[in-house]
Structure 1
Amino acid sequence: MKTIALCFYAIYRPAFYLLVIIDTTLLGLLTIAASYFDPKGNRVHYIGKFWSRLNMLLSGVRVKMIHPEHIDPKRSYIVMSKHQSHYDVWALIGFLPLQLRWVMKMELREIPVFGLGCERMGHIYIDRSHPDRAYKSLEVAGEKIRSGASVVFFPEGTRSTDGNLRPFKKGGFNIALAAGVPILPITVRGSRQVLPKGSGKIMPGTIELVIHEPVLLDGYTTENREELIQRVHQIIEADLKL
């Protein structure tokens, strides 16, 4: 029975990609139009949430949240998440009860409709090839936090190919320390099985979002930043299942 289901999914997969292109284009255009009446992106954010949940549904992927009580929807956070798959983005946007703004690589801005839609939604592009521009992008992230949004970082910087947690980069921690907001660590499990890095073979499955208790920044400064980085790394790694 499982073999029959997998064969059906292999046949369906090209149709799914076509549906993603269609819904991304339509909802992207809607986001761009609606953003002129919502410059902060607080309402058009829900278009992104619908887009994420729709594509999860279309691909047969479920999301299970573990310890959602650790999130206070009225607070702002720096969200630090494990990154194994493109599906991490859909899972976090679709199911975290927060106004999320993403720090995204500049190359994504070039994707027609999608790139501009994300910009109008309030997501932040960072040009890693130009340190000065990258620093300004991080300053924009701080402004988003002060306006009440939560900003998401994948502190590994890129997707893990083997599921192991890579060393963390410092940018998100610098923003957290400057803004004085808690870090919300999240362990993502199962997304690598749905769509591994470098593969286009999406498979149905379940993604688990393990929400850890927020890490308060009392006692942390740039001088002991490495201790903070290691603490968050250990928290996320502790609940990781390969």
Structure 2
Amino acid sequence: MLRTIIWFIYFFLYLIYSIPSLIKANRLLKQGQMEAHEQHVTKITSNWAKSLLRLAGVRVHVRGGENIPSDACLIVSNHQGNFDIPILMGYLQRKISFISKKEVKKLPIINRWMEHMSCIFIDRKNRRQSIKAILDGVNKLEQGHHVMIFPEGTRSKGNKIGDFKQGSFKLATRSKTAILPVTINGSYLAMEANKNIIRPADVTLTISKPIRIHLEEDVSEQELAKIVQQEISTNLHVEEHKVSV
């Protein structure tokens, strides 16, 4: 319990501490220094994410880091728990535009950093707004951004994978960009498995080779969702097997 209390205090204090860096990000953006802006935002958010993981006692083991392409791609991951986003922010080493639920936009300071990360907010209950979010994501990919989505739509809070929503893959088919499957294994052990009490955990982040089949063949979003889900599911089960041996 003490670790959890300290973690949340640190979480909010760091947000306040980051305000001068946020002001700098605003200035760089207004001055049109886009490269400096991206480097600054990526450094601050990545360092914050890693510090949150260290304080929580979450140890991340990365496999396949060499598979991350330098050009724009749609990053697709399973979603086990609340620590997934800090893990991806801290260890993919890229500026990532997350597609997030609209409620996050109400969080002060966090929402400003997310805007600097070019994140997209989506209201899943509003079909028109959901379509707009997809189009915004396609635009980000075409501009060269890495866009991140959890196609399950919610946390599994365990080691199971929910069905991937095929609509998520319109981002890749319409922008004609590769898909980078990412498998997170064990993040739920840091919080969700303990009734939201933070405890140390070992997490494996497996980065697969980019999938480009939809760029070479006529593949539907439904088929693409199954292909990517199978890739992530296979990596998850392989890792579980290694742990249990």
Q: Identify the TM-score tier after normalising by the shorter chain.
A: 0.7 to 0.9
Q: Taking structure 2 as the reference length, what is the TM-score of the superposition?
A: 0.87
Local SS of the residue matching 1:240? helix
Q: Assess, with a 3 A threshold, how the Cα gap between structure 1 residues 182 and 197 changes in structure 2: closer, same or farther.
A: farther
Number of residue pairs the alignment of both structures matches: 231
Match of 1:117 in 2: 113
Identify which of 72, 85, 88 aligns with 2:84: 88
Q: Which has the higher helix share?
A: 2
Contact 1:220 1:228 in 2 (8 A): no
Q: How does 1:131-146 map to 2 (within 5 A)?
A: 131-146=127-142
Q: Structure 1 pair 32/196, CA: closer, same or farther in 2 (3 Å)? A: farther
Give the unaligned 5+ runs of structure 2.
241-245
The alignment's C-alpha RMSD in Å is 2.0
TM-score when scaled to structure 1? 0.88
1:176 matched to 2:172: yes
Structure-2 residue corresponding to 1:153: 149
Structure 2 match to 1:16: 7
CA distance in 2, matches of 1:135, 1:197: 34
Alpha-carbon distance in 2 for matches of 1:197, 1:107: 24
- Supply the distance in 2 between the matched residues of 1:141 and 1:235 (Cα, whole angstroms): 23
Q: Give the share of equivalent positions with the same residue, in percent.
A: 26
Q: What is the CA deviation profile of residues 122-147 of structure 1, one whole-angstrom value per residue up to 9, with x for unaligned ones?
A: 11111222211221122111121122
Unmatched segments (≥5 aa) in structure 1:
1-9
- Shifted more, 33-42 versus 116-125: the winner is 33-42
Write out per-residue CA displacement over residues 157-203 of structure 1, whole angstroms, 9 at most, x where no aligned residue.
Answer: 00003421100112320010001111000110110111217932111
Q: Look up the match of 2:186.
A: 190
State the one-letter code of the partner of 1:200: N
Letter in 1 for 2:111: G
Q: Aligned equivalents of 1:184 and 1:106: distance in 2?
A: 24
- C-alpha change, 1:28 and 1:237, in structure 2 (3 Å) is farther
How many angstroms apart in 2 are the aligned matches of 1:186 and 1:201?
Answer: 26
Match of 1:71 in 2: 68
Q: How does 1:90-109 map to 2 (within 5 A)?
A: 90-109=86-105
Letter in 2 for 1:34: A
1:197/1:121 Cα in 2 relative to 1: closer, same or farther (>3 Å)?
A: farther
Equivalents in 2 of 1:197, 1:26: separation in Å?
30
Once residues 23 and 234 of structure 1 are traced to their aligned partners in structure 2, the CA distance between those partners, rounded to angstroms, is 38
Instruction: Show CA shifts across 1:18-71 (max 9, x none).
Output: 011111233256325513422665231321111111111121212111111211
